[in-house]
């Protein structure tokens, strides 16, 4: 491969030996060419402008200008550069700041040759899949005039609490953004006790209540103003600050807000409250796909069975529901096939059990699909994102199922009991 078509890599580290070692590691890789070495952040900013690398391997702690500030400066000038941050063990606190600065990947030093090659090629591929006029602020501004059609809404839901809807919704939103580079919004639909702010370590004074207060004049500007921006380039509509305020948001508010978001974003992912009450049902009605999460626990299986009956009563088309087994582990004493037979529904996808990694990622406020992209559970979530992106591509050619009737029927509240009495 000629140097022109190789992946252009720049190395930045204040320790000259480290720069040289990395250069040596890359020397024999035919598809990778080292185009420059810089020894502090300031030098890196200048060199990046001059040499236009595809990828920068960036150390964090350096004299004159640290790697995070340099990353920010470089990406402000050229958002198409992909930065891989390198740091030593124990500096994982930097992971968050590195992401905020726009870094694509994080490697722990000493970096193994394999990890290095894998990361460079992976990050390069990600960069290639971006739109030609790439914008780092891609998620900062809603689609506005450029949105040609209504986006797709995925409701992550479980009829039982604690099954993982919040972490799956947050990770799915990030994975969809990373895979498609489309505009993604994540909505915390838990109006009493939302968790998304913690899962993503996001702080904002503005929440869904600010949109509910002004449903009559929802426009791009207001939406952009209220939704928080996460470093992974997704926009997030956070839950109210307390349950009392949450009560002010009605099912009608939710419908209007979600429809407004669907005009602005390609994908809207809702962490839906685990209940059969009218606000959760409003989300499920509007959803293009319901990702129904379950675990291999009898109580959960019982609730899923009941939920499947409910979806039939609601007249949802069969393909609206996607059953997902979360925390999948074959040591739970129950076989998936037996559950499928029992509930007469196929499990579309499984997300591996990763108790330690999930808890760590929640506590660090960094989604697993970023912090541990190689972990089985993260790969499963990427597979889910891929499937949804493909499904919705093929949906685009089909006419959308009109759901107005079911939505209308529930305008006056009702919830679970209303639902059954309506059938009777």
Residues that bind ligand ATP (CB under 6 A): 158, 161-167, 190, 195, 274, 326-327, 351, 353-355, 358-359, 362, 377
Nearer to ligand ATP, 158 or 178 (CB): 158
For 383, the enclosing helix (H) or strand (E) is helix 376-396
326 lines the binding site for Mg ion (CB under 5 A): no
From ligand ATP, Mg ion, none, interface partner of 37 (C-beta below 5 to 8 A by class): none
Least gap, CB of 156 to ligand ATP (angstroms):
8
From Mg ion, ligand ATP, none, interface partner of 359 (C-beta below 5 to 8 A by class): ligand ATP
From ligand ATP, Mg ion, none, interface partner of 161 (C-beta below 5 to 8 A by class): ligand ATP
Q: What are phi and psi of 274, to 5 degrees?
A: -75, 80
Among 166, 171, 295, 350, binds Mg ion (CB under 5 A): 166
From Mg ion, ligand ATP, none, interface partner of 164 (C-beta below 5 to 8 A by class): ligand ATP
Indicate the length of the chain as a whole number. 424
Other C-beta atoms lying within 10 Å of the C-beta of residue 63: 10
Least gap, CB of 168 to Mg ion (angstroms):
9
State the Cα–Cα distance between residues 13 and 15, nearest whole angstrom: 5
From Mg ion, ligand ATP, none, interface partner of 358 (C-beta below 5 to 8 A by class): ligand ATP
From Mg ion, ligand ATP, none, interface partner of 162 (C-beta below 5 to 8 A by class): ligand ATP
Cα end-to-end distance, the chain, whole Å: 71
Instruction: State yes or no: cis peptide before 110, omega within 30 of 0.
Output: yes
Nearer to Mg ion, 60 or 290 (CB): 290
Nearer to Mg ion, 41 or 159 (CB): 159
Q: Which residue is nearest to Mg ion (CB)?
A: 166
From Mg ion, ligand ATP, none, interface partner of 158 (C-beta below 5 to 8 A by class): ligand ATP
Least gap, CB of 229 to ligand ATP (angstroms):
22
DSSP 401: P
Q: Which of residues 177-206 bind Mg ion (CB under 5 A)?
A: 195
- Provide long-range contacts, Cβ within 8 A and 24+ apart, for 218-227: 218/256, 218/257, 218/260, 220/141, 220/142, 220/144, 220/264, 223/142, 223/260, 223/261, 223/264, 224/140, 224/141, 224/142, 227/185
Sheet strand arrangement including 152-157: 228-230, 234-237, 184-189, 267-272, 152-157, 289-294, 321-328, 349-352
Nearest to 268 by CA among 257, 252, 279, 280: 257
Nearest to 272 by CA among 259, 285, 263, 256: 285
Nearest to 108 by CA among 60, 75, 143, 66: 60
Stretch that binds Mg ion, among 35-43, 65-73, 163-171, 315-323 (CB under 5 A): 163-171
Least gap, CB of 162 to Mg ion (angstroms):
8
Residues in the site for Mg ion, rule: CB under 5 A?
166, 195
């Amino acid at each position: 491969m000629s140097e022109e078509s190789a992946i252009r890599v720049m190395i930045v580290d204040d320790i000259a030996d480290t720069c040289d070692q990395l250069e040596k590691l890359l020397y024999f890789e035919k598809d990778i060419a080292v185009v420059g070495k810089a020894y502090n952040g300031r030098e890196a900013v200048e060199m990046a402008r001059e040499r236009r690398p595809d990828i920068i391997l960036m150390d964090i702690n350096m004299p004159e200008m640290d790697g995070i500030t340099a990353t920010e400066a470089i990406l402000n000038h050229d958002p198409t550069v992909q930065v891989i941050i390198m740091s030593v063990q124990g500096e994982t606190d930097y992971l968050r700041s590195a992401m905020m600065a726009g870094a694509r990947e994080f490697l722990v030093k000493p970096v193994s040759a394999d990890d290095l090659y894998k990361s460079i090629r992976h990050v390069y591929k990600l960069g290639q899949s971006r739109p030609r006029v790439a914008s780092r602020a891609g998620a900062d501004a809603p689609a506005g005039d450029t949105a040609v059609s209504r986006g797709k809404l995925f409701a992550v839901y479980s009829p039982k609490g604690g099954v993982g809807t919040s972490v799956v919704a947050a990770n799915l939103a990030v994975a969809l953004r990373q895979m498609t580079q489309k505009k993604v919004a994540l909505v915390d639909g838990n109006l009493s006790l939302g968790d998304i702010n913690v899962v993503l370590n996001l702080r904002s004074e503005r929440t869904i209540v600010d949109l509910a207060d002004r449903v009559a004049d929802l426009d791009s500007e207001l939406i952009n103003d209220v939704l928080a921006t996460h470093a992974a380039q997704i926009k997030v509509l956070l839950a109210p600050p307390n349950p009392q305020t949450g009560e002010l948001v009605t099912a009608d508010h939710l419908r209007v807000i979600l429809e407004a978001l669907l005009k602005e974003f390609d994908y809207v992912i809702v962490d839906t409250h685990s209940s059969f009450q009218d606000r959760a049902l409003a989300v499920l009605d509007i959803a293009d796909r319901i990702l129904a999460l379950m675990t291999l626990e009898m109580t959960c299986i019982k609730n899923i069975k009941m939920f499947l009956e409910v979806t039939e009563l609601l007249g949802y088309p069969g393909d609206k529901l996607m059953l997902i087994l979360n925390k999948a582990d074959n040591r739970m004493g129950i076989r998936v096939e037996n559950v499928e037979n029992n509930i007469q529904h196929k499990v579309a996808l499984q997300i591996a059990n990763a108790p330690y990694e999930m808890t760590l990622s929640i506590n660090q406020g960094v989604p697993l699909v970023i912090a541990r992209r190689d972990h089985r559970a993260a790969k499963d979530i990427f597979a889910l994102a891929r499937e949804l992106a493909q499904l919705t591509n093929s949906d685009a050619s089909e006419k959308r199922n009109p759901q107005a009737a079911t939505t209308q029927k529930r305008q006056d509240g009702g919830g679970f009991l209303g639902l059954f009495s309506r059938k009777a």
